[in-house]
Amino acid sequence: MKKIYLSLFLVLTWLKGFSAGEIAFVSFQSDDPDSFSWVALVPIPAGTTILFTDNGWNGTAFRTSEGVLTWTAPAGGVPAGTVVTVTGTTMASTGTVTSMGGFSLATTGDQIFAFKGTLASPTFIAGINFGGTGWDDTAASTNSTALPATLTNGSNAVAVGNQDNGRFNCSDGSVMGNISTIGTTINTTANWTTNADILSPAVSACTYTSSSLPVRLISFKSEAQSAAIELTWQTGEELNNSHFEIERSSNAQNFEAIGRVIGNSNSTTTQIYSYVDVSPKIGLNYYRLKQVDLDGQFEYSRIVSARLTGSGLFKAYPNPVVRVLTIELPAESTIESAYLIDLTGRRVREFSDYHPTLEGVENGFYTLQVKTKDGQTFQQRILKTN
């Protein structure tokens, strides 16, 4: 048996919910008996559920004419590196499976998605497409599917071509890296073996070996303000954490770095972080965190989003601010009153000019509230620092 040692330097072990790429499909079989396999790239706690469907995605929603399987992690959980094989609609090599609807892999082309949530509101984790048209934005039939915006082909999803059976091929050597690197390896089409006949073995004889350097993310949220978007996140544990890079995208596919927040290196207590994007795009903005370890290893968070309506071009910057704040309002609006409000709701500073000084204000988070003479009210979270 050849082994592939995937040394998962898991800079981030997300223990609350799942993010895209935290499991990866490693086989499928549409010839009877139907089966598919996936590998856990992070530890999965006992009782965790993951949903799998052969419904296609039409670009905005699932078709709902097919089925859904619910997999539940066993007592004791599932270690990172475990391969789980689901056969039919009731059997799993690890954990348990229940079914709803008609889950059945078509030999004329199909797809499988792993997700959390519901069919109506899914959070995608991984995807595999073995239909004849690849990722198809039209998704005109049950044998085709579009690629959801929160998945990336070659990273946490793969299209392997129209074949009845396929497996990730790990027989040529070892692969080492973090989740991102491993996901790229598994989700590269050239690394798959496919055939019209049942493959033997159906799943490559791989041993996935992992070692973790955890930074445990408790939450990651985004909130649109008047003309900015605030990102907040909390960690419950950090080990060798250098910093977070904040990345933004307009399509959940192509991200650019827009800022950096220094981490706490090593911590066993809850740490709270915040970043304000003062120049978001009008419309939907997608964000992710790139957590970077002290030795340069990195991992991505799940993607969050917030919509800027474009109701006005209010801005307050720089943010964080050391001494002087600059306030910009929509054209033809003027300041009637402005307040700096602390976390208890107390007004700590009142002003009416566009370049107020914050000298003497203690460091910390504040809400800037600006009322205009034409009846508008704008708010933005401000971080005062030295």
Measured CA to CA in angstroms, residue 325 lies from 3, 75, 110, 322, 352 at distances of: 58, 54, 56, 8, 12
Q: Are 71 and 99 in contact (CB under 8 A)?
A: no
Q: How far apart are CA 238 and CA 244, in angstroms?
A: 12
Do residues 113 and 229 both lie within one domain? Answer: no
Do residues 30 and 142 both lie within one domain? Answer: yes
Q: Is residue 11 part of a domain?
A: no
Q: Residue 117: beta bridge partners?
A: 122
* Number of folded domains that form the chain: 3
Written as one letter, the residue type at 73 is: A
* Residue 327 parent element (H or E): strand 326-328
Helices and strands, number each (H, E), in the chain: 1, 25
Taking the chain (386 residues) in runs of 10, the rounded mean pLDDT of each run is 37 49 93 94 87 94 91 88 92 95 90 95 95 82 89 94 90 56 87 92 72 69 83 86 93 90 86 88 89 83 82 78 90 87 89 91 91 84 88
Q: Is residue 352 part of a domain?
A: yes
Q: How far apart are CA 370 and CA 384, in angstroms?
A: 17
Per-residue tokens: 30: 């549409």
Do residues 151 and 222 both lie within one domain? Answer: no
What value, to the nearest 5°, has the Cα angle with vertex 255 and ends 251 and 256?
135
Do residues 281 and 324 both lie within one domain? Answer: no
Instruction: Determine the pLDDT at residue 13.
Output: 37
- The pTM of this model reads 0.56
Do residues 324 and 352 both lie within one domain? Answer: yes
Do residues 134 and 167 both lie within one domain? Answer: yes
94-101, long-range: CB < 8 A, 24+ apart: 95/71, 96/71, 96/72, 97/69, 97/70, 97/71, 97/72, 98/69, 98/70, 98/72, 99/67, 99/68, 99/69, 99/70, 100/67, 100/68, 100/69, 100/70, 101/64, 101/66, 101/67, 101/68
Q: Is residue 211 part of a domain?
A: no
Q: Is residue 147 part of a domain?
A: yes
Full domain range(s) for residue 373:
315-384
Q: Is residue 37 part of a domain?
A: yes
What stretches of the chain show up as alpha helix (H) in DSSP? 179-186
Q: Is residue 210 part of a domain?
A: no
CATH code of the domain containing 268: 2.60.40.10
Count other C-beta atoms under 10 Å from residue 31's C-beta. 16
Q: Is the sign of the CA dihedral 174, 178, 183, 188 positive or negative? A: negative
Instruction: Determine the pLDDT at residue 213.
Output: 47
Do residues 74 and 146 both lie within one domain? Answer: yes
Instruction: Determine the pLDDT at residue 218.
Output: 81
